[in-house]
Amino acid sequence: KLPLESIQVVLEELRKNGNLEWLDKNKTSFLIMWRRPEEWGKLIYQWVSKNGLTNSVFTLYELTSGDDTENEEFHGLDETMLLRALQALQQEHKAEIITLDDGRGVKFF
């Protein structure tokens, strides 16, 4: 067991490294991330590039649950984290999140 002050130091370090996000202003609830969204985006884009899939459109379901990604680390990734990863790629002009008839998708560049 750690004293409260030590726990706060650990949590603050995780936040500084981008692996923790406070969910409330009182800092009583937080999200700990195995990888930062930018890291997930990099993994996804590496897979897209490696497989020659730039200029392709995918549904979010295809990326996290499709047969083609079954052996990838991002397979099964939570949709909220997937969207954050894709937003990071969008900021780098490597992807664009789009709205499809049956949900959301992404086009990679």
Q: Which residue has the tokens 């406070």?
A: 22
Per-residue pLDDT tens for 45-92? 999 999 999 999 999 999 999 999 999 999 999 999 999 999 999 999
Q: Has residue 43 got a pLDDT over 90?
A: yes
How far is residue 22's CA from residue 27's CA, in Å, rounded to a whole number?
Answer: 6
Q: Has residue 101 got a pLDDT over 90?
A: no
Selected residue with higher pLDDT from 78 and 102: 78
**Residues 30, 21: contact at Cβ < 8 Å?**
yes
pTM: 0.84
Ordered structural domains, the chain, with CATH: 1-33 (no CATH), 36-106 (1.10.10.10)
Q: Has residue 102 got a pLDDT over 80?
A: no
